[in-house]
Structure 1
Amino acid sequence: MKYKYQLIILGSNVPEKKIVIDQVKAELRNLKLPEEFIKVIPASCFEAEYKGNQPAFALYFGDTSGDFKDLGVTQKLLKDGTMILPIYYDNFNSDIPCILSNQNATQYSHSEVHKIANVVLESFELLRDTRKVFISYRRAESTDVAIQLYEALEGYNFDVFLDTHSIQKGEPFQDELWHRMTDCDVIVLLNTPGFLESHWCKEEFAEASAKQIGIVQLVWPNHQIEDIDKSSYISYPIQLKDDDFASKELLDKKKRLVHSKVKLVITEVEAVRARNLAARQDNLITEFRNIAEKHKRTVTVQPEKILTEDLPNGEHIIYIPTIGIPQSSSCQSAEIKKELMGYDNVSIRLIYDDLRIRDKWLNHLDWLNDNFKKDIKTLKKRDFELWLQKA
């Protein structure tokens, strides 16, 4: 591998360093990427191992006593434009040096470890930074909990879809709903007793299974999960009890979850993202390779979860499986992956599943392909066969 992502570890020598690094490695495994894909560089090895021309991200672990370390390295990284995430414990102003006072920080806790690891992956474009969540629920039974989770997830920087809050007036409701589900990372499904009795809720669940989107499932008290869990592609059920609700009245439709359970849902959503992304990437890769094999095209899966094809004329094609709707950030990620492969004469195709993406978006992506001569273009699933049968 010509390039490596560099994770630089700065600050106090605390046990949390190992916990976070281990979680980053676990998330790489969830993404089915090799651990060595990210090179962890402690501050003590910075001068010997750091390469300024390769992608880098830094974590700075604060100190509750104000004994700040590695300020020289921190200054150099800031000058280079490297992103640094300060991690504090009690108080940002006292735990973090002034040199990092303008940086967005996170407070360390056990529930934040997944989030910190995901921020690292997002910074290297290994995990989408859009953080999209879709809440599926039956209005007659769980509207207040749905709104509660919407507000809580938004507060944790998730882009949350909730039908009553997220569809603009004048938009075709059902088309926009399927479109937003296609582009999400995780579905939070409120499995109330009457959930599957609703036609639209049942449709949403079937759509999630067809798109193989991971589901964090909240199962209401005294309600079974078997009916829904058997057909779900990736489902993580949370069985709720009466004590998980602030109101104990069985007929109270305005029930809200207690704070600890809301925090659990947020942690679980954070934990599911990488696993779900990997599963959907694998499915897209498998389908593309099967069609390529049928047409005698030699497409190779690289450890970085991208596909490459070497053409007889000396040109190369990189195919990058793209989950959801290709965006400008997908192109930025593609440029990094081109550098990783070390190719010169190369074109890139962002391959994606176009099922349920609205026509106006598909037409826009096709227009970009036709009108820009950039070497990065999109290729939708319905065109895999046509593209790969070309001589």
Structure 2
Amino acid sequence: MSVYELAILGSATAEDRRLLTGTLGTLLAEFDLVIGDDVAVRDGRSVGDRNDAVAFAAAYFGGDNADDDGPAADLVRASVPVIPTVAADGDFGREIPPFLQPANGLRRRADDPGMRELATALLECVGLLRRQRRVFVSYRRIESRSAAVQLHDLLSSRGFEVFLDTHDIRPGEPFQEVLWHRLVDSDVMVMLDTPGYFDSKWTRQELGRARATDIQVLRVVWPAHVPNKLTDMAETIYLDGNELEGPEGPIVDEVADGIVLEVERLRSRSIAARYMAITGKLRADAEKIGAIVGGIGAHRAIALDLPDGKKVWAYPVVGVPTAEILNDIAEKSRRADQREIPVLVYDHVGIREAWGAHLKWLDENIRAVRAIKVSEAGWTLAAWEA
């Protein structure tokens, strides 16, 4: 049985379906999920047979074909996410039916032929990718400040929450503590690799800690600069001399747009790698105490049967947990009819001490969801009391 379901509705051509399904398949493979086995992709004829118990989302391609308007309207009435989408030169007002116009639509970009942005949005809707889209820009102010500010503004305009030290740390806050907190809550680190990048211990630490926590790194190499071998494993964009408008930037618009697309591509890989790392640690610790790790349930919940007969549904979470995430897990557990209290599992490394105290308070006072650190999973589960 599928653990996720998607639908492609409206005026999508056969080629649209092929391209979008192919991109979805690539993204899903990073989570060890396979279309046809773990994920069903439906059309207007079969969407009425969807399984209400699993996470679902649909894309509606605007156009003149109204055959799918009935099924799409049924989905809207059922309060499930439907993303209205039009081509780069499309007209939302004319091509999208009135019942879908209140939803925020997506205009497919000409420079994104594989529809990665739409595929990512669908996976966000079903909870595989978190809705927060966070990027950390690592750079040396004396060498690349203009390019860093440019990417901050460009990525922000494309729906990312971007951390830049000069913009996002308030006066009086503990600088490095906040910086590490924001790093571990990011999906991708954009590294502006200038000749003096490794002369700073702070940028060296940013790169090392990003790699230690499985955050994907996109390296943007300055013209005529020979990169450090420590960064050979990073995804890389090399700049030519004519692609910088000045020694420290900004970067010409076409290349900057390409950097944004590469961030979008790396984001899903980064989240998948971190998710797999948490689930791997959880599985190993659970097996150490004699627990049986069962299958994957709805919304990627992991079934754990403890030695004393108690059952736990664990929800691995990437990044910094919040009250909103706790609420989301409680809702997912309710929809999946899981009678046991759901457990949020997270990696606490790098999270601010003050935020850790906040999470502890939430865990003690909100009993609908429990939260445990993955590094203490075995220790905590061995003495589990639901």
Normalising by structure 2, we get a TM-score of 0.89
Q: CA deviation at 1:341?
A: 6.8
Counterpart residue identity of residue 386, structure 1: W
Residues 295, 101 of structure 1: alpha-carbon distance in 2 compared, 3 angstrom cutoff:
closer
- Is residue 2:382 matched to residue 1:383? no
User: Deviations for 1:297-348, whole angstroms, at most 9, x for unmatched residues?
Assistant: 333463875432213554311222211111244335534664687643x232
Q: CA deviation at 1:54?
A: 4.6
- Partner Cα distance (2:140, 2:337) in 1: 50
Q: CA deviation at 1:67?
A: 4.8
- Structure 1 window deviating more from structure 2 (54-63 vs 120-129): it is 54-63
Match of 1:75 in 2: 73
- Partner Cα distance (1:321, 1:53) in 2: 20
- Partner Cα distance (2:163, 2:107) in 1: 26
Aligned equivalent of 1:284, options 278, 286, 289: 278
Unaligned runs of 5+ in 1: none
Q: CA deviation at 1:72?
A: 1.9
User: Deviations for 1:344-371, whole angstroms, at most 9, x for unmatched residues?
Assistant: 3x23221111111101110011111112
Match of 1:351 in 2: 345
Match of 1:148 in 2: 150
- Partner Cα distance (1:17, 1:169) in 2: 50
Match of 1:109 in 2: 109
Q: Is the 8 A contact 2:291 2:306 kept in 1?
A: no
Match of 2:41 in 1: 40
Match of 1:215 in 2: 217
Q: CA deviation at 1:276?
A: 1.1
Q: What does 1:59-70 align with in structure 2 at a 5 Å threshold?
A: 59-63=59-63, 66-70=64-68
User: Deviations for 1:166-207, whole angstroms, at most 9, x for unmatched residues?
Assistant: 111221111000000011111111111110011211111111
Match of 1:293 in 2: 287
- Partner Cα distance (1:283, 1:86) in 2: 34
- Is residue 2:356 matched to residue 1:362? yes
Aligned equivalent of 1:164, options 149, 163, 166: 166
The alignment partner of 2:127 has SS state of coil
The alignment partner of 1:43 has SS state of coil
Match of 1:119 in 2: 121
- Partner Cα distance (2:291, 2:131) in 1: 33
Counterpart residue identity of residue 384, structure 1: A
Q: Is the 8 A contact 1:352 1:379 kept in 2?
A: yes
The alignment partner of 2:8 has SS state of strand
The alignment partner of 1:87 has SS state of strand
Match of 1:324 in 2: 319
Match of 1:87 in 2: 85
Give the total of aligned pairs: 377
- Partner Cα distance (2:226, 2:301) in 1: 40
User: Deviations for 1:77-126, whole angstroms, at most 9, x for unmatched residues?
Assistant: 22222222111121323332333322211122354411111111110111
Percent identity of equivalent pairs: 31
Match of 2:31 in 1: 31
Counterpart residue identity of residue 229, structure 2: D
CA RMSD, 1 decimal = 2.4
The alignment partner of 1:207 has SS state of helix
The alignment partner of 2:303 has SS state of strand
- Partner Cα distance (2:60, 2:275) in 1: 32
Counterpart residue identity of residue 74, structure 2: K
- Partner Cα distance (2:300, 2:231) in 1: 28
Match of 1:302 in 2: 296
- Is residue 2:333 matched to residue 1:373? no
Counterpart residue identity of residue 18, structure 2: K
Counterpart residue identity of residue 236, structure 1: E
Normalising by structure 1, we get a TM-score of 0.88
